[in-house]
Amino acid sequence: MQPENKRWARRKEARPQEILAAALKLFVKKGFAATKMADIAKAAGVTCGTPYVYFSSKEEIFKAVVRELLLPQLARCHDLLSNFQGSSAELLRAMLQTWWQAMGESEFSAMPKLMIAEGSNFPEVAKIYQEEFVNPGNKMLRHLLQRGIASGEFRLLDIDYAIEVICAPIVMAMLMKHSLINCLPDELDPERFINTTLDLLLNGLLASPKDH
């Protein structure tokens, strides 16, 4: 068995992450504005004053959620982009699948809704989300599209708006997961959804001669 003081030290080192994880769950369930510091402390299993030992305010906790919990998910896509050896179409498929696994299938899927609902009231938090998560993600998609164009696999296109079009279905699916008005099938099949998105992105709607 570990000595009591070592177990306590390990627990103390893990406490900020426990507070962030508890905060994220509450932000998803109640919204940022409705969540109190006392709620976060209770959910994390610590005293009311403990969150203030590590974070000066609820806004600082939210910033840390983005930086310490969310950004590592973005790093998964960055690693994929840096090391992928296949075609750009295959890379796009892998990127969307990784994005959905990291975001769509986790509590992070609520982040778009949180930003839409709370961003205007907490612009500094929204700015961090935009600058440190959204913009780097868009930069990776830009690099992917440029890769495909340079190799001749993709045709020349308006990359600025192509990025928005590629992101829109995934973001919308995440929004629908946390909305009372759900325009998606009751039992969303992520694989079918991503495959259909990719089919439309890569092939469009128009039939080719061979389809006839």
Confidence of residue 12 (pLDDT cuts 50, 70, 90): low
Band (1; pLDDT cuts 50, 70, 90): very low
Name the least confident of 57-66, 82-91, 118-127, 148-157.
118-127
pLDDT band at 2 (very low <50, low <70, confident <90, very high): very low
Confirm whether 148 is domain-assigned.
yes
Percent share of the chain, pLDDT over 70: 92
- Let me know if residue 5 belongs to a domain: no
Highest mean pLDDT: which range of 79-83, 126-130, 163-167, 205-209? 163-167
The CATH number linked to 73 is 1.10.357.10
Whether 83 maps to a domain, the answer reads: yes
Question: pLDDT band at 14, cuts 50/70/90?
Answer: low
| Cβ–Cβ under 8 Å, residues 111 and 103 | yes
Supply the pLDDT for residue 212. Answer: 54
How buried is residue 162: exposed, middle or buried, by Cβ count under 10 Å (0-12/13-18/19+)?
middle
On whether residue 49 sits in a domain, the answer given is no
Residue 97 included in any domain: yes
Give domain status of residue 173, yes or no: yes
Among 100, 101, 169, 164, residue whose Cα is nearest residue 138: 164
> Nearest to residue 101, comparing CAs of 119, 131, 77?
77
| Number of compact structural domains in the chain | 1
Q: What is the domain range of residue 175?
A: 66-205
188: left (phi over 0), alpha (psi -120 to 50) or beta: beta
Asked, for residue 211, whether it belongs to a domain, the answer is no
Residue 21 lies inside a defined structural domain of this protein: no
